[in-house]
Homo-oligomer: A and B are copies of this chain.
């Protein structure tokens, strides 16, 4: 199993606790509980240090955020708060300053984590809580500099909070909705609404499956990479596209490849998956074997798509952006290892046989 960057998830989601109000209240008030704060999908993080060369989540205590939560229960302008999960015993995130607190916690299995969307709170006040904290952009380049061990937590927080941000109204009747189940449900406030009778996906977080594929040439020794206009100069990557209702993963791969490049695909093989918080995709990575070779690109989606030799791709994937610069910007480079595209390309380029 390949664990991709945003698939590194160190918590137990405690889904069965989401309806347990007394557990939730106790967990919120527990002094060991860790809160992370996001404003417009950007997380408050601690910048790289001698200990950790990556951005990592800035965590706050109940005593620091309780005034935000109290304002919350009084006003109708609630700050969304979401249960993330609890640290796994076998996978505790150690935080040296908290040794004592840790020892005294007996009522929960490992620290509990919550995320709060502080977009509507006063940013000065939040900055005062920890003047060292910095907002990390939720764009790909910023996220690539983020701590591997916490990337899954960040993906979960961004995805769920951006769902609350965009899904404030009931799609079935247009009424306003309220958060329930520790942030994993929104309930329509119109008592007559159909969404309250039976179970409907309108009440649950949205997650968009995307197929992403490395297409392999019929001769086995070339692969198809494409680039969008907005990519940095020299970067090529896998093709990808949103799955549609009523298709299998394999058919989605064949359809998107045909649409974007004109290439026919036969065999498709699943490789790995990863959550992708832009804002809430799950990328399903596959290798796909072409049965035709002549490329006709969809110019609305791609600026270029070409067959590249295994040798060129091997260099691009092993030498990275630095290699590209050192070669004076000749050839190509591919996305960094945090992108599942990199892993699909690397698996193929570093395997001598037909995979």
Contacts and interface: CB of A to CB of B under 8 A. Distances in A.
A46 to B, nearest CB: 21
A224 interface: no
A20 interface: no
Contact of A282 (B15, B163, B243, B255): B243
Contacts of A3: 248, 250
A226 interface: no
Task: Indicate how many identical chains form the complex.
Answer: 2
Q: Which of A204, A205, A249 has the most CB of B within 10 A?
A: A249
B209 A1 contact: no
A160 B202 CA distance: 14
Contacts of A245: 155-156, 159-160, 163, 205-207, 275, 277, 280
Given A9-B248, A249-B273, 14 more contacts: A1-B267, A6-B246, A9-B251, A13-B244, A152-B246, A166-B171, A166-B200, A174-B175, A184-B244, A204-B208, A205-B245, A246-B275, A247-B282, A270-B270
Interface of A: 1, 3-4, 6-7, 9, 13, 15-16, 152-153, 155-160, 163, 166-176, 184, 194-195, 200-202, 204-209, 242-251, 255, 259, 267-268, 270, 272-275, 277, 279-280, 282, 284, 298
